[in-house]
Structure 1
Amino acid sequence: MEYRSILVHLDGSERASACLDLALLVARHHGAHVTALFAPVTTDHESAWSITFDMGYRARTREDRRHELEHQFSSGLSQTELKGTWHTGARHAEHELLALAPFADLIVVGQSDPRDPEASLNNRLQARVTLAAGRPVLWVPYVGTYPTVGERVVIAWDAGQSATRALYDGLPFMRLATHTTLVTLNTEREGRIPGADIALVLARHGIDVEVTQLHTPPTVSVGDALLSRVDKLGSDLLVMGAYGHTRWKELVLGGVTQTMLGSMPVPVLMSH
């Protein structure tokens, strides 16, 4: 698989500009078509007070933000000589994203700023899309600038289904990377070197990978240990499986996934 079609979600927040810039950066490296979806996250039901006193102002603010981002998108396409399509969402953001997901090789979303009053709502939508879209999702942290992405890749590997999906979904990044490290999170089979089998598979794809094992003391969680390793290696992209499932009116995420979504130091490619 190659990234020839990239879908980026623009929620209208201040961080949406950085999210769009990173999507265009990835698209330039892979020669991809970019589809930008402007779809702010909204609640299903607005209160009467909001409708009466607040909705008009919020609508004007969103329209101004849409114009700003659409101009940034058009300028970015022109500067990078890429092709793209702009969509303004008419329905709930989750419905719009999932409707466009089957036609994207990669989906780009932004992690919400925890200081944003709507952060919980936004993160819930992004997590649901990650688990339900069936496509790899690249999360952009809510702080920081990222002039590079995918030059130094870290793969979180436990030989599980989601990790396997993420690894193969991340191949286009690894093919262009200057360095790739596979971090094993457990021992796959007694008597064999953890990660050796999948490293051999990557070698057949022409990818030279360094394999290292993550040892976590009882007082440190796997998620925190992985964050520390990413920082130590100077990575600019983490590839990992997204663990979790949805229930009726409930979203349940695995511990490592929850840690990453709350504290990601670099862009994170997730697959489920």
Structure 2
Amino acid sequence: MDYKTILVHVDDTPEMPDRVAFAARLANDKGAHLVGMTQTGISRFIRETTLPGVELGDLAPLFANLRDAAGQRAAHFDTLAQQAGVASFSHRVDDEGPGLALALRALYADLVVVGGTAHDAPGVSGIAGIPEYVALNSPSPVLVLPRQRACPQAPQRVMVAWNASPEAARAARLALPLLVRAKQVELAVFDEESSSVRTPEDAADMAQFLARHGVAVEICRHHPRGAVGNALLVRAEDLKIDLLVMGCYGHSRYREILLGGVSRTVLRRLSMPVLLAH
């Protein structure tokens, strides 16, 4: 398996050109088709803000401006992809909000590349930020890039957060195109109540599975004194890893929304690229 269709979020943030450049390098490396996805947000605007008695025709100038801005972003993506030497690329403009538009287009992609959500950014549909929403609502893994940090497209030091859950197993499988090229991969087990890892064999079986794909894995068990999310980030930062691979929302989705959880802790303190899968 390899990534042959890569979807990248094209928005109006200052980080967008670097995000596209990262996705372009990855597409060149994998011989993949690169899709730039941008949105007008018109459909969400109509659903959430239109007042009774307001004629949609009155909003035509606003909608025209939104479509024009999205078209300019799409054209900018085309220019960036051309400059990066991407052999095969295209763009999509959708009237939905970014979370839903990316999740729908991700049905036809092997990997989605997005930027990290700002701490004060509003949630998507009141539930989560864009990375979490896409991971929860699409079959594709989501590679979340931190703000203001250069990210190698071929990470050399990788940590796989392992708790013997279906989500963690899916994340590891979907990260294989990146794992097989890494020089150092730690299968990190954090012993705590919610982990499904009960015996040493649980981690050893996963290490053997990855090894059969050509991934050199070292198992490391940790006994955090506090929250697992914080302990995971401290370990990742100590190792200066290039990529963290983890399952998204291993517990009840609503429990994590209310109480936090490892996924949300990592994404809110994002300091390295994270590959998520649900």
TM-score band w.r.t. shorter chain: 0.7 to 0.9
Conserved? CA contact 2:164–2:202, under 8 Å: no
What is the aligned partner in structure 1 of residue 234 from structure 2? 228
What is the aligned partner in structure 1 of residue 81 from structure 2? 76
Shift of 1:180: 1.3
* Residues 1:205 and 2:213 are matched in the alignment: yes
Cα-to-partner distance string for 1:51-98 (whole Å, 9 max, x where unaligned) = 9xx996897487457525533433334433431111111334344223
Query: Which ranges of structure 1 fall in alignment gaps of 5 or more residues?
Result: none
What is the aligned partner in structure 1 of residue 243 from structure 2? 237
Alpha carbons of structure 1 residues 215 and 76: separation in structure 2 relative to 1, 3 Å: same
Conserved? CA contact 2:74–2:91, under 8 Å: no
> What residue identity is the alignment partner of 1:179?
Q
* Residues 1:271 and 2:277 are matched in the alignment: yes
1:106-117 equivalence runs, <5 A: 106-114=111-119
Q: CA RMSD in A?
A: 3.2
Alpha carbons of structure 1 residues 253 and 102: separation in structure 2 relative to 1, 3 Å: farther
Cα-to-partner distance string for 1:18-39 (whole Å, 9 max, x where unaligned) = 2222211222222211111111
Which aligned runs of 4 or more in structure 1 are off by greater than 4 angstroms?
40-43, 54-62, 244-247, 250-254
Conserved? CA contact 1:12–1:40, under 8 Å: no
**2:244 & 2:2 partners in 1: Cα distance?**
18
Between the aligned residues of both structures, percent identity stands at 30
* Residues 1:159 and 2:164 are matched in the alignment: yes
Query: Which ranges of structure 2 fall in alignment gaps of 5 or more residues?
Result: none
Cα-to-partner distance string for 1:160-199 (whole Å, 9 max, x where unaligned) = 1100000101100011112211111238234x36622211
Alpha carbons of structure 1 residues 246 and 210: separation in structure 2 relative to 1, 3 Å: closer
> What residue identity is the alignment partner of 1:241?
G
Conserved? CA contact 1:149–1:267, under 8 Å: no
Q: Which piece of structure 1 moves more, 94-103 or 151-160?
A: 94-103
Paired residues in the alignment total 264
Shift of 1:210: 1.5
Q: Which piece of structure 1 moves more, 57-66 or 181-190?
A: 57-66
**1:240 & 1:95 partners in 2: Cα distance?**
22
**1:148 & 1:12 partners in 2: Cα distance?**
22
